[in-house]
A and B are shown apart, each in its own frame.
Chain A
Amino acid sequence: MKNSGSQPASFASEWDWEKGKKTVVASVLPKDPEAWQEELYVSPDGTHMAAVVRLEDDSFTLRVNDGQWEQSFEKAWMPRFAPDGRLTALVMEDDQWTVAVDGTPWEERFDFIWNTMFGGQSQIYASIQSDMQYGMCKEGEPWAELHDNATDFSLSPTGKNSAAVVQVVPLKQADLETFAKGAYTVAVNGTAWEQTFVNAWTPVFNCLGEEQVAAQVRLNEFEYTIAVNGTPWPTTYNCVWAPSFDPLGSAVAAPFRKGGRWGMAVDGAEFWKPTYYQCWNQQWSFDAKKLWAIVAPEYGKFTVACNNTPWNALFPVVTDLVLSPQGTRAAALASHKNEEFRVVVDGVAWNDAWDMAYPPVFSPNGQHVAALVRKKDTMTVFIDNKPVGQTFTKAWQPAFSPDSSSLLLRGVQNGALVRCVLPLNELF
């Protein structure tokens, strides 16, 4: 469950927080302008860039800063840095797929691999298919049991456990009868729940990182509810959205639809009356005292509600709800037709509007909010409604130092990858 917009503090504490701007790579472009280089990506600490490069036909590798991995592959895509800085990519050799980590492929090979995910302790997961059986693998180790299909992959907050919606009963073409009996369920670390459902979606773990999982389930053609460890709530609805666990215990909240309006249920009981035109993306504060969600109090008008009290400001679209680590403040993005993006903090929109904005980030002490924004071809970062004074042609999410005293910017300036550490006391 998402309940904070801050970066993993355990890794950020090891980053270089020395004030100033440093050039990491003099040019992010390839030396040969005709050379093939794609999927530029930057590490969370801003010290490394990666990109997929083609050496020759059917031979690809990863560029890392001004060097490159020694090994090449028939295909390589989706370069991603783990929170601890390891560089991963999905690679193919001899028609078999795996993950390469810092240039070294896992020994285990699969017929296909996709959807790299990282656990809270930087564990590397991916979705896999072997012999038309589906599941997940962790650091190269596949689930002991794979299934006819798997979707909706999910990790526990600690990253120790993984889950997915799996198909456990074969379906023939137009096999309505078997489908109606239930061919789907949730598998936790590969082991499927005993109960099957018509459909299941979005398994989420208990915040404590246990193996307790809740998911949306469809009981028949028309009835939906939430199942926790395979047991459905006794109450059913004509639609539900993804559940979330109370961070201190095992209570589960989920939006539900009744009579054409949306409300919030907790453990199957009505918690917020169904009065909204929409209600989704709920998040608990860390102490479970506040429950936040994106809601539409009027048709076509969205905002954020805390404990069922919506902000006054309404917008055509609201996305990317982020809570402060303390859970007392919230920020979100408002937009209209994917334009005029505004950062809204505690119900008040910042002055400026942008062509695009990225999810806001709270400082660990909850006092500051930063957001990466783009206007035309220029990207910059705003903090607490003010620009930080650096512009980029491309940039990645900013990050606060664990003591909330500095802000890290990562971006491309004049073709170079730079990282800037800005002390907040010099910004205000």
Chain B
Amino acid sequence: MGIAERKIEDANLLKAVAALTPDKIQQVVRSVTKGEAGARLAVYHETCMRCGMCAEACHFSLSHKGDPTYTPVGKMEQTMWRLLRTDGRVTPDEIYNMAQIAFTECNMCKRCVHFCPVGIDTGYIISLVRRICHLLGVVPMYILDTAHSHSATMNQMWVKEDEWIDSLMWQEDEARDEFPKLRIPLDKEGSDVLYSVIAPEPKFRTQLIYQAAAIMNQAGIDWTMPAGPGWDNSDMCMMTGNLEMMGRLKRAHYEMAQRLRVKRIVMGECGHAFRSVYDTGNRWLGFKDWPVPIVHSVEFFWELLTTGKIKIPQKFQKPVTIHDPCNITRGYGLMEKLREVVHMLCENVVEMTPNREHTICCCAGGGVINCGPPFKGTRVAGNKVKADVLAATGVEYVIAPCHNCHGGLEDIISHYKLGMHTKFIGDLIFELMEKPGAE
């Protein structure tokens, strides 16, 4: 079944393609393929031999066995390869289809890169298709609204400046009932650690801020949280192809840390946000490296546990499995540290297969979950293979140090009735750590 037969209505996709003309499409396609993309795209296009090895890599493809339109190369054929063949002379309806593929049928997880004999980075190519869609205004409604929030408030949840500070003060008050001396220091200049989170934390998951504060306090970390814009490290603009706004967000994030003269930024358990600061946003701004060191929570927790700053008197006893978020494992190599952390916390760890750099994506990342309810069915159906992998572990708990992964895994756990629960590492540490001084 081709993309035309599985078209899903999205209010903004419908509206945006209605305003397109073939000339406008061609102009934008050329501006990206001949202007922004450069040699890398041309090399990929010339070297892809259509061997189909990538079909065995993609969770969409594995979950829709026998349908070549879900394979990475099939998606390339329907999107970028077609744009290149036609020099961008495609219809508005085709652009709709391409947007649906690029935004909702590829998580840019890059598992297929490991299966490609010549190492073609399909995630990169899909990001270029998204870039074209952005420049044409053809972006799914929900994720576009999130990008708009980023541009207006510098966070993805329309959280206003006072609401952010108030949320932190509220969590500090709550936590003081348990830890009387606990502080969430705001804008403390010169701290060792600046802790940054994604906007869903103050909006929906404030307990994660509570837990992080408790862990920081118990570990005796000299830390702070920012009181001003730049506190949200997430970046849906990176996912929509709005690179200009991505750069603006990352600049705000780095400059906030530079203004506070902190030694480093520790990020909460999020994958895409980490990628936006170590890989994409920093480079768009002209930095070869990151201007301020960014440490993912997995690395930070590893430090706390191995140095004894956090002590675990008794490990979690029930069997758990580990989900490797794409952006911090395939993208950054934290798979072994993640395992060491989980083994320091849990008595009985059952590896899912495949794992580490070959892990199968949660199907939420790459902004796919942010495309909202219209595409939830696509995500769930597109990751039957992950449900099978999870079920095969026979465990009740999945540890996933990434917000989007939680969202994606919870959806397939619910849909396929796996009876499992997800946990952040911070959940486990908070639950298990020694808490001297707690009341």
Interface residue ranges, A against B (CB under 8 Å): 36, 38-39, 75, 77-78, 111-112, 114-115, 127, 129, 134, 149, 151, 167, 173-176, 179, 183-184, 198-199, 201, 218, 221-222, 224, 238-239, 257, 259-260, 277-278, 296, 299-300, 302, 316-317, 319, 335-338, 355-356, 358, 374, 394
Which positions 308-330 of chain B face chain A at CB distance < 8 Å?
A: none
User: In this assembly, does B153 line the interface, its C-beta being within 8 Å of a C-beta of chain A?
Assistant: yes
User: In this assembly, does B186 line the interface, its C-beta being within 8 Å of a C-beta of chain A?
Assistant: yes
13 extra A-B contacts, CB within 8 A, seeds A134-B160, A222-B135, A278-B286: A78-B187, A115-B227, A176-B11, A176-B141, A199-B152, A238-B244, A260-B35, A296-B286, A299-B286, A300-B286, A337-B290, A338-B258, A356-B263
User: In this assembly, does B145 line the interface, its C-beta being within 8 Å of a C-beta of chain A?
Assistant: yes
In chain A, what residue has the closest Cβ to B252? A201
CA distance A393 to B30 in the complex (A): 58
- In the complex, which residues of chain A have a beta carbon less than 8 angstroms from the beta carbon of B141? 174, 176
Stretch at the interface among B78-86, B91-99, B161-169: B161-169
CB atoms of B186 and A316 under 8 A apart: no
User: In this assembly, does B291 line the interface, its C-beta being within 8 Å of a C-beta of chain A?
Assistant: yes
| Closest beta carbon of chain A to B190's beta carbon, Å | 7
Those 6 A-B pairs whose CB atoms lie nearest each other, nearest first: A300-B288, A278-B286, A112-B162, A277-B286, A174-B145, A239-B244
CB atoms of A356 and B181 under 8 A apart: no
| Closest beta carbon of chain A to B397's beta carbon, Å | 34
A127-B161, A129-B160, A224-B244 are known contacts. Are A316 and B288 too (CB-CB below 8 A)? Answer: yes
CB atoms of A129 and B162 under 8 A apart: yes
A199-B151, A337-B293 are known contacts. Are A115 and B288 too (CB-CB below 8 A)? Answer: no
From A167, A239, A338, give the contact of B293 (CB < 8 A): A338
A-B contacts, 29 of them at CB < 8 A, read: A39-B188, A75-B169, A114-B165, A114-B227, A115-B227, A115-B228, A134-B160, A151-B153, A151-B161, A173-B145, A175-B145, A176-B145, A183-B152, A184-B152, A198-B151, A199-B151, A201-B248, A218-B151, A222-B135, A260-B36, A299-B286, A299-B288, A300-B288, A317-B287, A337-B292, A337-B293, A338-B257, A338-B292, A338-B293
User: In this assembly, does B394 line the interface, its C-beta being within 8 Å of a C-beta of chain A?
Assistant: no
- In the complex, which residues of chain A have a beta carbon less than 8 angstroms from the beta carbon of B152? 149, 151, 167, 179, 183-184, 199
- In the complex, which residues of chain B have a beta carbon less than 8 angstroms from the beta carbon of A221? 134, 137, 242
CA distance A423 to B141 in the complex (A): 64
In chain A, what residue has the closest Cβ to B264? A338
Interface residue ranges, B against A (CB under 8 Å): 11-12, 35-36, 134-135, 137, 141-142, 144-145, 148, 151-154, 160-162, 165-166, 169, 181, 183, 185-188, 190, 227-229, 242, 244, 247-248, 257-258, 261, 263-264, 285-293
| Closest beta carbon of chain B to A36's beta carbon, Å | 7
Count contacts between A and B, CB distance < 8 Å: 110
CA distance A39 to B181 in the complex (A): 15
CA distance A114 to B36 in the complex (A): 42
CB atoms of B36 and A176 under 8 A apart: no
CA distance A115 to B160 in the complex (A): 13
A36-B181, A129-B160, A278-B285 are known contacts. Are A337 and B244 too (CB-CB below 8 A)? Answer: no
CA distance A38 to B142 in the complex (A): 42
A184-B152, A224-B244, A278-B285 are known contacts. Are A176 and B185 too (CB-CB below 8 A)? Answer: no
CA distance A129 to B162 in the complex (A): 7
| Closest beta carbon of chain B to A78's beta carbon, Å | 7
CA distance A75 to B162 in the complex (A): 15
In chain A, what residue has the closest Cβ to B172? A75
From A39, A114, A316, give the contact of B161 (CB < 8 A): A114
From B12, B148, B186, B247, give the contact of A77 (CB < 8 A): B186
In chain B, what residue has the closest Cβ to A216? B248
In chain B, what residue has the closest Cβ to A199? B151
- In the complex, which residues of chain B have a beta carbon less than 8 angstroms from the beta carbon of A38? 183, 185
| Closest beta carbon of chain A to B35's beta carbon, Å | 8
In chain A, what residue has the closest Cβ to B288? A300
- In the complex, which residues of chain A have a beta carbon less than 8 angstroms from the beta carbon of B165? 112, 114
CB atoms of B287 and A316 under 8 A apart: yes
In chain B, what residue has the closest Cβ to A75? B169
| Closest beta carbon of chain A to B39's beta carbon, Å | 14
From A39, A78, A300, give the contact of B287 (CB < 8 A): A300
| Closest beta carbon of chain A to B32's beta carbon, Å | 12
- In the complex, which residues of chain A have a beta carbon less than 8 angstroms from the beta carbon of B12? 176
CB atoms of A356 and B261 under 8 A apart: yes
CA distance A129 to B186 in the complex (A): 19
In chain B, what residue has the closest Cβ to A153? B161
- In the complex, which residues of chain A have a beta carbon less than 8 angstroms from the beta carbon of B160? 129, 134, 149
| Closest beta carbon of chain A to B370's beta carbon, Å | 12
In chain B, what residue has the closest Cβ to A394? B190
Max count, chain A CB within 10 A of own CB: residue among B142, B151, B185, B188: B151
- In the complex, which residues of chain B have a beta carbon less than 8 angstroms from the beta carbon of A317? 287, 291
- In the complex, which residues of chain A have a beta carbon less than 8 angstroms from the beta carbon of B162? 111-112, 114, 127, 129, 134
